[in-house]
Amino acid sequence: MNAPAGLDLASIPERIQSEVQRAIQRSIKGVEYIASSGPSLGSTPKDILASRGTMNLYHYRPVADEIYRVPILIVMATTNRGYILDMVPGQSFIEFLLKHGYDVYMLDWTAPKPEEKRLGMEDYVLDFIPDCVRRVQQDSGETDVSIIGYCFGGVLSLLYASIFNDGPMKNLICFTTPIDFREMKLFSNFSDRRYFDVDRLVDSVGNVPPEMILSSFEMLRPASRAASQVQLWENIWNDEYVKAYRMMDRWGTDTLPLAGEYFRAITKDLMWDNKLFNGTMSVGGRKADISRIKVPILHAVAEHDHIVPYEAAKHLIPKVGSTDKEEVMLKGGHVSLVAGANAIKRLWPKLDNWLGKRST
Amino acid sequence: MADKGNDPAAIWQTMIGEMEKGFNSFANQAMASPEFSKVMNQVGGVSAGAQKQLGEMMEKYLLAMNLPSRAQMVGMAERIQSIEGQLNEIKALLHQVHHNSLAPEGGYGAQRPPRTRRPPSEGEPK
């Protein structure tokens, strides 16, 4: 009997041996996986400069002998923890920036407490960000500050930059930042104003629970969690795969609740009225039109982003008033754009190349 | 070596990948309909409303039983969190004072690296 085309009979024993070994390893490592805790994340040395309710401002200790004049303030998305940008050594964006001579600060969030349900968009844009910028100026002794905003942190940074367009922001970098919320098709459908009573929800629950936020993210790709667990079992013999899986899984499920009034404003102003895109957005009575932004701006978007599709993000660069502006589309998804092996070879060097010459 | 077309492990992985894509795509189409939004929000709305009513009823019941309600426990937790927050602030302040006392004359700023870095010129290794 002949072997099917392409099948090398001589390799079969070797293949069987390899599969048996992997099966044994799966059993051993599977037990280890259940019994052990995941890798320690967010461990780059830092000092807490300010902690006020949901707001935390960190300063990472510089490691280079010489640093750029302009410090960076990273504004994290309000739905997730900042340690996505500070995974383990060798895979930490923060560590990369420090080694490349940047002075790095991060505005990170903790879960808003029940009494913080009244925090609104104005608290984030007119209080927390300006307060952190002031503290960065004070701590670094520099007037200029560059801001990096990730996902909704990018939206908050855009609002801040539109309102405080006379400074002290030196450069603005947005990662996967939506401005046309109609194009976030599924989120838009979930929050259809004909059926979604945001007032009733917020008045009932106060802060929007993290389970609700997480399930709305997971609903965008409902089969992916099950498929990723199958893949985990397939690859559980591979320590590197397991480590990467655990890091991403822990972060992905570590979702934060959203302050009630803030969620109400996001739903009404952004999801329903698309005010950021239409140029009619205002925060605390102050107009926030992104065409007023004049600082150099870089927008990094991901080719396969299922949370912020390109259609929702593509108008940012055309709409800002800056002359020095660039959009860069890189391979990857919403998270792999900024963290993991893909980010190390694509986004991080691109950012360093763009920001270094604008940080002196 | 067997090529990928005959490798059972590769076939299995491709199948899982394709099933995931297919199911996601199918579910996304179904979830994009107004009917889905209507049903999802009806269910969500009823559950949020029921949760609120149940909470109010339980509060009355616990009051009658002379037991603390969830709202009272949350209030107490808030006070503890607020005390914790203040302790953190005191800790941060103490850390700063300690840090400054160790700093050389001229302050801690003098210990930080100089802000004189220039970007590497084109072609220069980073």
Surface of B (53-72) touching A: CB under 8 A: none
Please tell me whether residues B38 and B48 are part of one structural domain.
Answer: yes
Nearest to A11 among B2, B37, B51 (CB): B2
Q: Is A171 within the bounds of a domain?
A: yes
**Tokens 């499920």 map to which residue?**
A253
Taking the model in full, what pTM does it have? 0.79
Q: What is the pLDDT of residues A121-133, one digit of tens each?
A: 999 999 999 999 9
Residue A3 lies in a domain: no
B8 falls within a domain: no
The domain in which residue A169 lies consists of 46-356
**A258 three-state secondary structure:** strand
A219 within some domain: yes
Residue range B32-68, pLDDT digits in tens: 888 888 888 777 777 776 776 777 778 788 888 888 8
Q: What percent of chain A has pLDDT over 70?
A: 94
Q: Tell me, yes or no, whether B20 and B62 share the same domain.
A: yes
Evaluate whether residue B116 is within a structural domain: no
* Residue A40 in domain: no
User: Residue B60 domain-assigned?
Assistant: yes
Q: Let me know if residue A36 belongs to a domain.
A: no
Contacts of B32 in chain A (CB under 8 A): 185-186, 189
Percent of chain A exceeding pLDDT 90 equals 55
Domain count along chain B: 2
3-state secondary structure of A17: helix
Residue A13 pLDDT greater than 90, yes or no: no
Give the nearest partner residue to B48 out of A114, A200, A356, using CB atoms. A200
At residue B1 the predicted structure's pLDDT band, cuts being 50, 70 and 90, is very low
CATH number of residue A254's parent domain: 3.40.50.1820
For the cut 70, the answer to whether the pLDDT of residue B19 exceeds it is yes
- ipTM surpasses cut 0.90: no
Model confidence over A195-228: pLDDT tens digits? 888 998 898 888 888 888 887 888 777 777 788 8
| Pair B77, B39 in one domain | no
Among B9, B48, B116, beta carbon nearest to A66: B116
Give tens-digit pLDDT for A244-283.
Answer: 888 788 777 788 889 999 999 999 999 999 999 999 999 9
- Are residues B26 and B43 located together in one domain of the fold? yes
Domain containing residue B81: 68-101
Note whether B55 and B73 are same-domain residues: no
- List A48's β-bridge partners, or say none: A58
Number of domains in chain A: 1
CB A202 within 8 A of CB A262: no
Please give, rounded to a whole number of angstroms, the shortest distance from the CA of B45 to a CA of chain A: 7
Same domain, B63 and B87: no
Q: Which tokens belong to A115?
A: 């009494």
Residue B125 within any structural domain of the chain: no
Write the pLDDT tens digit of every residue in A86-115: 988 888 999 999 999 999 999 999 889 888
In a domain, residue A25? The reply is no
Q: Specify whether B46 is located in the same domain as B81.
A: no
> Helix axis angle, B34-64 relative to B70-102, nearest 10°?
100
* Least confident window among A6-10, A288-292, A314-318: A6-10
Closest CA to A91 of A248, A215, A207: A248
pLDDT at A99: 95
